[in-house]
Copies of this chain bind each other. A is one copy, B any other.
Amino acid sequence: MTKVGIVGVTGYTGMELVRIILSHPELDLAYATSRTWAGKPLAQALPAVKERTELRISLFDPVGAAGAAEVVFLCLPHNEAMDAAAQLVGLGTRVVDLSADFRLKDADVYEKWYGSHSQPQLLTKAVYGLPEIYRDRIAEASLVAVPGCYPTSVILGLLPAAQGGLLNPDSIIADSKSGVSGAGKEPKADLHFPEVEGNFSAYNIAGVHRHTCEMDQELAGILGQPVSITFSPHLIPVSRGILSTIYSDPAIAVDADGLVDLYRERFSSEPFIKVRSIIDPLPSIKDVRGTNQCIIAPRVDSGNGRIVVVSCIDNLVKGASGQAIQCSNLMLGLPETLGLEDMPLLP
C-alpha cells in the first residue's frame, strides 16, 4: 500500500479522488486538506466515507504532506497549485497536479491566459499527464500536470488522425458539451439549479476559453506546426460527462472504414480507449459515466468527406481524477487500470 494525499479534498475532483482511492487496492488515503474543514473528520465533510476511513482533514502544510504521503494530488485552483507543487517537489514528494498550472510549456502563454507564473522553471520538468501520449515519461515524473477535461476529450479524439497526417491544421474545430460539475463546486448565479435545468447554452466561444491554448499546444506538438483550433464549449443540464464533436478537413482523402481502422490500430493496446466502428451506436455520456473510459467514434461525412469525430468521457474521471489515478498507477509501477475498472452506472 502506498500512502497518498489530497490537497483540496472537498471540491468535486477531490471527492472523486476519495471515491476512487478508497476502493483502490494499493493506495491508502493518508492525508487530506481543506481550509474550510480543517480539524474535522473527512466523514463529516463527505458523509459517504463514514465507516470507510477515520482520516481527519488538515490545513495544507508542505512538510506535513511530504511526511504523510508518497504521492500528493493537488486539487487547488490555478495560481494556487504552483507554489504547493514546487514545495512538495522540493521535498522529494511526487505530485499529480489537477490544476492548469503546469499544463502549458511556455510561461508566456500561461501568463496570457492565467496570469503570472511563480515557478516557470518547473514547466518543462512537468509531464503532461495524458498516458496515451506520454506514458513512459509519466512513469518517471516527479510532477505530472493532469490535462484539462475538454483537452482530454479533444486530443484523444484527434490523436490517430493527427499522427496519421490526416488533419488539415487550419480547419480544426472542437464543439464540446460538458456537464456542470466541470465548473466546480462553488455555487454561482449562472449555475444555480433553476438557471440550468431545462436549458442549454454556449459560453466562452470564439477563442476565449482557456482550454484552447492547451489543445493548440498538444496538437502543434503532434503536427509539428502551429495550430489555432476553434473551440466552442457548451453547458449540458447534467452533472457529469463531456461529449466533443470534432471536425477537420482531411489533409488526404480518407474513407469511413479506413478511418475506423486507423483509430482501432492506434488504440489497440490502450486499456481505456474504446473505438466505435461504423456499425456501432454513437457513444453518449452515460456510456462512460463513473468510468475512466474514453469512447471515440471516428466518422467521414458522406456528403463532403470531412472528418467528424465524437469523443466521450466523464469529466471527473478520465477528465480529471481518474486520469490522475491512471498517472499515479504508472508512477508507482502499478497496473495502469488498477482501481479504475468500474462499469458505467446505467441507466
Show the binding face of A for B, using Cβ within 8 Å: 12, 15, 19, 22-23, 47-50, 52, 170-171, 173, 175, 177, 179-181, 185-189, 191-203, 205-208, 212, 216, 228-230, 232, 234, 236-241, 243, 245, 247, 249, 256, 274, 280-287, 289-290, 297, 299-304, 306, 308, 310, 341-347
Q: CA of A31 to CA of B241 in the docked complex: distance in angstroms?
A: 33
The answer to whether A198 and B197 touch across the interface, beta carbons within 8 angstroms, is yes
The answer to whether A189 and B187 touch across the interface, beta carbons within 8 angstroms, is yes
CB contacts (< 8 Å) of A245 on chain B: these are 175, 202, 205, 232, 234
The answer to whether B287 and A48 touch across the interface, beta carbons within 8 angstroms, is yes
The answer to whether A343 and B52 touch across the interface, beta carbons within 8 angstroms, is yes
What are 22 of the A-B contact pairs (CB < 8 Å)? A12-B347, A15-B346, A173-B306, A185-B192, A187-B188, A187-B189, A187-B192, A188-B192, A192-B193, A194-B240, A198-B239, A199-B284, A199-B286, A200-B238, A201-B282, A201-B283, A201-B284, A201-B285, A207-B302, A216-B303, A230-B247, A230-B301
CB contacts (< 8 Å) of A195 on chain B: these are 193, 286, 347
The answer to whether B197 and A23 touch across the interface, beta carbons within 8 angstroms, is no
The answer to whether A23 and B179 touch across the interface, beta carbons within 8 angstroms, is no
Q: CA of A281 to CA of B195 in the docked complex: distance in angstroms?
A: 14
CB contacts (< 8 Å) of A173 on chain B: these are 173, 247, 306
Closest residue of B by beta carbon distance from A347 = B194
CB contacts (< 8 Å) of A283 on chain B: these are 201
Question: Which of B193, B308, B346 lies in contact with A232, CB distance below 8 A?
Answer: B308
Q: CA of A198 to CA of B173 in the docked complex: distance in angstroms?
A: 25
The answer to whether B197 and A306 touch across the interface, beta carbons within 8 angstroms, is no
The answer to whether B191 and A192 touch across the interface, beta carbons within 8 angstroms, is yes
Which of A191, A199, A237 counts the most B-chain CB atoms under 10 A from its CB?
Answer: A199
CB contacts (< 8 Å) of A342 on chain B: these are 23, 342
Question: Which of B171, B290, B310 lies in contact with A205, CB distance below 8 A?
Answer: B310
The answer to whether B181 and A308 touch across the interface, beta carbons within 8 angstroms, is no
